[in-house]
């Protein structure tokens, strides 16, 4: 959906390097979710922001992961240092204010490969 | 705790035929929503259909319909008149109305044969 723009689409890095994934939201949202998708664990919620405030970060794997939402339309997910087990597709998603069913709209995902 | 189960890792269907993808769920919350998403090989997650726990009728969206059986806690997706472009992963998901968390099942890979 054009309302959620993620970058980069693909990232290949070496173990130990810092990785920053970005998510830009077009207007009309009130929340932001970061999900991770792997073959072994499926889709997992990492962190949820509402009105730019982190509400639940219990899904963040460990201290190497951090997320910020400095304004209403932008968020970053950072991994430092990265490890091969972090290889996954990372999705950003939002819930638009004018939907009464509450479905999430996802970005196209960022595929991360850590060598 | 809420839980979503999709027991079919993979399914085949002949083009133009209908197919049912199974989904069962577990929740103690009386108010919840059920969702289906499609993930084609390109990777994006596409919202297909929604069913609220208090909805009296099964949801329909074009060729998609949701067979909602509340007592059995099942929310199966029915795709009618399958097309080659329907080949994809399909995920069932649920959110309790008291929560913000959308929990996903493990997915079913559908392959439509010409």
- Is the pLDDT at A2 greater than 60? The verdict is no
The DSSP 8-state label assigned to residue A96 in this structure reads B
Of B43, B52, B107, the CB nearest to A42: B107
What residues of A are in contact with residue B101 (Cβ under 8 Å)?
45, 48, 56
What residues of A are in contact with residue B50 (Cβ under 8 Å)?
101-103
pLDDT value of position A1: 47
* pLDDT level of residue B1 (50, 70, 90 thresholds): confident
CA–CA separation, B105 vs B36, rounded Å? 10
- Is the pLDDT at B67 greater than 70? The verdict is yes
Of A31, A103, A108, the CB nearest to B44: A108
Q: Which whole-number Å values give the CA distances from A88 to A9, A37, A115, B84, B104, in the listed order?
A: 12, 6, 12, 27, 16
Q: pLDDT tens digits for B78-108?
A: 999 999 999 999 999 999 988 889 999 999 9
What is the average pLDDT score of chain B? Answer: 95
Percent of chain A with pLDDT strictly greater than 70: 94
CB contact at 8 A, A23 and A69: no
Angle at A9 between CA A4 and CA A15, to 5 degrees: 125
**Hey, what's the torsion of the CAs at A47, A52, A55, A61, to 10 degrees?**
20
pLDDT value of position A95: 86
CB contact at 8 A, B46 and B40: yes
CA–CA separation, A3 vs B98, rounded Å? 26
pLDDT value of position A28: 66
pLDDT value of position B53: 94
CB contact at 8 A, A77 and A91: no
Q: Which sign, positive or negative, has the C-alpha torsion B70, B108, A22, A68?
A: positive
pLDDT value of position A24: 95
DSSP string, A33-83: EEEEEETTTEEEEEEEEETTEEEE-TT--STTEEEEEEETTEEEEEESS--
Of B44, B91, B95, the CB nearest to A102: B95
CB contact at 8 A, A25 and A34: no
Average pLDDT over residues B20-49: 96
pLDDT value of position B99: 87
Of A42, A55, A91, the CB nearest to B45: A91
CB contact at 8 A, A22 and A75: yes
What residues of B are in contact with residue A101 (Cβ under 8 Å)?
33, 50, 52
Q: pLDDT tens digits for B6-31?
A: 999 999 999 999 999 999 999 999 99
Tokens of B17: 């035929």
pLDDT value of position B4: 97
Q: How far away is chain B from the Cα of A43, in angstroms, using its nearest Cα?
A: 6
Tokens of B4: 């979503």
Percent of chain B with pLDDT strictly greater than 90: 93
* pLDDT level of residue A109 (50, 70, 90 thresholds): very high
Residue of chain B whose Cα is closest to the Cα of A88: B43
Helix (H, G, I), strand (E, B) or coil at B69: strand
Residue the block writes with tokens 């269907």: B13
What residues of B are in contact with residue A108 (Cβ under 8 Å)?
42-44
What is the average pLDDT score of chain A? Answer: 92
pLDDT value of position A111: 97
- Determine whether the interchain pair A56/B100 forms a contact, defined as Cβ–Cβ distance below 8 Å: yes
Q: Which whole-number Å values give the CA distances from B72 to A68, A85, B90, in the listed order?
A: 41, 38, 21
CA–CA separation, B54 vs B110, rounded Å? 29
Q: pLDDT tens digits for A15-64?
A: 999 999 999 998 767 789 999 999 999 999 999 999 899 999 999 988 99
Residue of chain B whose Cα is closest to the Cα of A39: B106
């Amino acid at each position: 959906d054009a309302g959620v723009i993620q970058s980069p689409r693909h990232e290949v890095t070496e173990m130990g390097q810092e990785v920053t994934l970005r998510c830009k939201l077009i207007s009309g949202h009130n929340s932001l979710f970061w999900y991770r998708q792997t073959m072994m664990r499926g889709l997992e919620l990492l962190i949820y922001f509402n009105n730019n405030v982190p509400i639940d970060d219990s899904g963040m794997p460990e201290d190497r992961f951090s997320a910020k939402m400095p304004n209403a339309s932008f968020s970053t997910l950072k991994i430092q240092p990265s490890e091969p087990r972090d290889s996954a597709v990372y999705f950003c998603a939002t819930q638009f204010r004018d939907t009464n069913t509450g479905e999430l709209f996802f970005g196209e995902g960022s595929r991360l490969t850590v060598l | 705790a809420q839980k979503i189960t999709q027991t079919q890792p993979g399914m085949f269907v002949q083009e133009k035929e209908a197919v049912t993808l199974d989904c069962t769920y577990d929740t103690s919350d009386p108010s919840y929503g059920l969702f289906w998403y499609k993930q084609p090989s390109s990777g994006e997650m596409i919202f297909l259909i929604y069913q609220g726990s208090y909805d009296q009728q099964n949801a329909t969206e074009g060729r998609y319909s949701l067979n909602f059986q509340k007592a059995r806690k099942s929310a199966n997706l029915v795709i009618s008149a399958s097309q080659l472009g329907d080949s994809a992963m399909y995920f069932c998901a649920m959110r309790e109305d008291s929560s913000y968390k959308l929990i996903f099942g493990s997915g079913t890979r559908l392959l439509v044969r010409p």
